[in-house]
């Protein structure tokens, strides 16, 4: 009897432990109705088990029934515990994993929030693997290739360290030395017939103006500064107006000289030495007024442009009032067109005045270069815009040098027997 009592007391302790554990599981799994029903049945069996433990004369069949109830309660508790563990696991998306760096999430229409597409970020935007949307890079920075980091923009400037700048600078230096050599040849042979026949004073002026044209190319190279921005276009415009004015004066003198062959011609009074210099001075004065007005009204200045190029910062000169730039270019084009027309009309004059043919070809090259320059200049940005203008300066100046002076240098240096007054008249 005592053994049966101790065994009954152990069963009571086991029942109390199962009852406590079942209540804990019910609190954690109260979201499942099935667990509630199981706990109610378990409590009823435990209550019956307590009553049976207090009775003194229970039989063997009562004990077996209680054992079966304990087994069922253990099974229910085990199932409840399993539900709780399953509920405590972190849910995972069955649609899409996290987007890789450089992509943003785009929710699919009509689906749950965990289902989305990964879309690459646009230029200038970045995103890491946790970003829902792309972020714009701050001013002065741009996205890298993977769009996961903003990097500083590169400085876009036509400097001497750049390969293009070195090529243009070397060409300008070579043409400057070549023009200076031609000037030395003309000074050395200044008393010969071919130099004197084509107004050597204007030839000297034109050669010196061409030297300045080649040298002004260097003002366009390098990092822009306030003084260089103010000088580059104005010096270029004034020097070129002197060059074209000298060519125009040469053409007009050729026409006047041909018409003044008659002793009674009124054109003879224009053959004085003051006429060509007056033409050059008046042509240059208009350009000087345009440039001075430009500097007084709205002078050019250096500017960091961060919007014209996406991944670069353009460091260039802002021309200020663009109307002055186009007025300067338009006036220079007008002078070149007048010179070309006059030279073309006088190309068939007698032999000693055959310089008109050379002027015609030189002005044809000059006008062609600057007509091509306009669309090329307007369609480029950054350092290439500056390079286009420098290239046009070098090409047009080289056209004047080659077409007007190289044939004369060929006769002076290599064909000296033709450098006589008689040879020029026979032509």
Pair of tokens at residue 343: 């030279």
Q: How many CA atoms lie within 13 A of 287 on its CB side?
A: 26
For residues 128 and 157, is the Cβ–Cβ distance under 8 A? Answer: no
313-to-70, 140, 143, 148 alpha-carbon distances in Å: 82, 7, 14, 21
Predicted confidence at residue 426, as pLDDT, reads 55
Query: Given pLDDT bands bounded at 50, 70 and 90, which one contains residue 17?
Result: low
* Beta-sheet pairing, 154-156 with 301-305: unpaired
Quick one: which of 125, 73, 130, 122 has its CA closest to 101?
130
Predicted confidence at residue 284, as pLDDT, reads 92
Average pLDDT, the chain: 77
Q: Name residues whose C-beta falls within 8 Å of residue 284's C-beta, 6 or more positions apart in sequence.
A: 238, 241, 242, 245
Q: Mean pLDDT across the stretch 229-247? A: 92
Burial class (CB in 10 A: 0-12, 13-18, 19+), 402: middle
Q: Pseudo-torsion of CA 218, 221, 225, 228, nearest 10°?
A: 30
Q: Which residue has the higher pLDDT, 67 or 165?
A: 165
- Sheet with 312-318, strands from edge to edge, namely 154-156, 312-318, 301-305
> What does the pLDDT look like over 264-294, one tens digit per residue?
666 666 666 678 888 899 999 999 999 999 9
Q: Which residue has the higher pLDDT, 198 or 5?
A: 198
Predicted confidence at residue 212, as pLDDT, reads 95
Query: Given pLDDT bands bounded at 50, 70 and 90, which one contains residue 15?
Result: low
CA–CA dist 343, 363 (Å, integer): 8
Predicted confidence at residue 30, as pLDDT, reads 47
Rg of the Cα atoms in the chain: 49
- Does the pLDDT of residue 74 top 60, yes or no? no
Q: Name residues whose C-beta falls within 8 Å of residue 112's C-beta, 6 or more positions apart in sequence.
A: 95
Query: Given pLDDT bands bounded at 50, 70 and 90, which one contains residue 84?
Result: very low
To the nearest 10 degrees (0 to 180), the angle between helices 322-345 and 355-378 is 150
DSSP annotation of 402 reads I
CA–CA dist 50, 73 (Å, integer): 14
For residues 202 and 250, is the Cβ–Cβ distance under 8 A? Answer: yes
Predicted confidence at residue 125, as pLDDT, reads 87
């Amino acid at each position: 009897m005592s053994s049966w009592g101790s065994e009954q007391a152990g069963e009571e302790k086991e029942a109390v432990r199962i009852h406590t554990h079942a209540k804990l599981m019910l609190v954690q799994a109260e979201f499942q109705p099935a667990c509630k029903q199981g706990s109610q049945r378990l409590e009823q069996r435990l209550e019956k088990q307590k009553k049976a433990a207090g009775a003194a004369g229970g039989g063997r069949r009562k004990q077996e029934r209680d054992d079966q109830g304990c087994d069922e309660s253990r099974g229910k508790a085990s199932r409840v515990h399993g539900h709780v563990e399953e509920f405590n696991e972190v849910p995972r998306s069955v649609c899409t994993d996290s987007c890789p760096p450089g992509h943003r999430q785009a929710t699919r229409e009509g689906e749950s929030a965990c289902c989305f597409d990964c879309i690459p970020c646009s230029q200038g935007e970045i995103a890491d693997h946790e970003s829902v949307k792309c972020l714009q890079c701050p001013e002065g920075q741009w996205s890298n290739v993977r769009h996961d980091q903003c990097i500083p923009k590169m400085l876009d400037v036509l400097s001497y360290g750049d390969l293009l700048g070195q090529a243009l600078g070397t060409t300008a230096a070579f043409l400057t030395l070549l023009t200076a050599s031609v000037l030395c040849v003309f000074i050395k042979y200044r008393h010969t017939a071919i130099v004197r026949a084509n107004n050597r004073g204007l030839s000297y002026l034109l050669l010196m103006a061409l030297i300045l044209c080649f040298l002004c190319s260097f003002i366009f190279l390098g990092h822009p500064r306030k003084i260089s921005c103010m000088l580059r276009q104005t010096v270029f415009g004034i020097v070129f107006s002197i060059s074209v004015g000298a060519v125009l004066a040469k053409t007009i003198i050729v026409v006047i000289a041909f018409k003044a062959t008659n002793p009674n011609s009124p054109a003879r009074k224009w053959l004085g030495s003051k006429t060509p210099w007056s033409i050059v001075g008046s042509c240059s004065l208009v350009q000087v007024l345009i440039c001075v007005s430009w500097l007084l009204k709205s002078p050019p200045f250096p500017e960091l442009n961060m919007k014209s190029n996406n991944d670069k910062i353009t460091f260039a000169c802002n021309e200020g009032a663009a109307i002055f730039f186009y007025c300067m270019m338009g006036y220079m084009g007008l002078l070149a067109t007048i010179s070309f027309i006059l030279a073309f009309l006088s190309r068939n004059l007698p032999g000693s005045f055959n310089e008109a043919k050379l002027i015609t070809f030189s002005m044809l090259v000059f006008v062609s270069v600057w007509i091509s320059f306009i669309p090329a200049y307007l369609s480029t940005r950054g350092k290439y815009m500056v390079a286009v203008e420098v290239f046009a300066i070098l090409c047009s100046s080289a056209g004047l040098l080659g077409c007007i002076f190289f044939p004369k240098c060929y006769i002076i240096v290599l064909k000296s027997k033709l450098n006589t007054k008689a040879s020029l008249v026979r032509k």
